[in-house]
């Protein structure tokens, strides 16, 4: 009851109902029969609970981190939906059924609601609507397109997050060197600039908010070394290899951020590594990596940078 929500300090994430729940059946009605039939279908099925979607385990675990503080709300999830308020009722009833602590929602009939990311200080918007995600990204927002199928949620409390580096945590300036000049010049450039941090990318603000929560975990671990178990773990899984790894590590440190684990794969497939790592979500700017990972790992395509405009 004593929790307060400070939008500047909290990790605020916007999630479309299409990312949180499995809407395949509803979407089929919309595509095949049109908006009016879709609205009627949702009214008729208002008490039918929607099954978890790709982002569900990730969102549930994020919300569970709020128990780390009894003074402030660390995580706030807001539903951003193209549904009108009436048909959106099924989504909110499903939210309540699954016990998700989500009370805020924006319903805009047939229109993309991502423009409200800025006033709500959102660090991320997740959706299964690729057009919405690309438009939000073009406007400078951190947005991700969820890909693949829902993974079974084992009900655990731990949260493992995996990021690609270039075009995700960092900008894509190094990636552009690689694409334009090739591997050899890229490695030479990264070696020469090893001590120069890259510009922050679209997901750096999100990582910063995650690091803040990890800092609270650190303090709890110091005060209760025997009883407290850290839950959040962050990994970078990148195609970079030595010597380009140094600039990645130095950039993260230069931004004042941190990760727990780093995998420098030198172009090896990421899918098998992620299958072993078992993150609850993986962010990458290259669709081929997302498609390779999504059969085993809840995956998100960040359509940022030059490589996604060609």
Instruction: Give the tokens for residue 291.
Output: 């498609």
Could you identify the residue written with the tokens 């299958």?
275
- Choosing from 164, 166, 284, 285, the catalytic residue is 164
Distance CA 289, CA 305 (A): 15
101, two tokens: 């602590």
Query: Would residue 218 show up in a list of annotated catalytic residues for this protein?
Result: no
Query: In which region does residue 99 sit, left (phi positive, over 0), alpha (psi from -120 to 50) or beta (all else)?
Result: left
Distance CA 87, CA 42 (A): 6
The set of catalytic residues is 164
């Amino acid at each position: 009851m004593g929790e307060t929500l400070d939008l500047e300090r909290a990790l605020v994430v916007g999630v479309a109902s299409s990312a949180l729940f499995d809407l395949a059946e509803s979407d089929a009605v919309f595509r095949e029969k049109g908006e009016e039939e879709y609205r009627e279908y949702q009214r008729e099925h208002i008490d039918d609970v929607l099954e978890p979607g790709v982002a569900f385990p990730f969102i549930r675990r994020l919300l569970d981190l709020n128990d780390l503080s009894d003074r402030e709300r660390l995580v706030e999830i807001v539903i951003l939906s193209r549904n009108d308020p009436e048909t959106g009722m099924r989504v909110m009833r499903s939210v309540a059924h699954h016990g998700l602590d989500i009370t805020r929602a924006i319903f805009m009939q047939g229109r993309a609601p991502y423009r409200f990311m800025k006033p709500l200080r959102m660090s991320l918007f997740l959706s299964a609507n690729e057009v919405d995600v690309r438009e939000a990204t073009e406007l400078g927002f951190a947005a991700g397109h969820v890909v693949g199928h829902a993974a079974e949620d084992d009900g655990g409390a731990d949260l493992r997050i995996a990021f690609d580096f270039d075009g995700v945590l960092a900008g894509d300036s190094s990636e552009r060197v690689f694409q334009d000049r090739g591997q050899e010049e890229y490695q030479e450039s990264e070696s020469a600039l090893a001590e120069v941090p890259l510009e922050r990318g679209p997901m750096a603000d999100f990582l910063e908010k995650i690091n803040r929560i990890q800092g609270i975990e650190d303090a709890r671990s110091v005060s209760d070394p025997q009883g407290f178990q850290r839950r959040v773990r962050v990994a970078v899984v990148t195609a970079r290899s030595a010597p380009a790894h140094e600039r990645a590590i130095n950039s993260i440190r230069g931004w004042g951020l941190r990760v727990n684990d780093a995998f420098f794969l030198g172009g090896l497939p990421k899918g098998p590594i992620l299958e072993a790592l078992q993150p609850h979500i993986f962010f990458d700017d290259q669709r081929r990596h997302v498609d390779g990972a999504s059969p085993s790992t809840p995956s998100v395509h960040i359509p940022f940078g030059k490589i996604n405009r060609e």
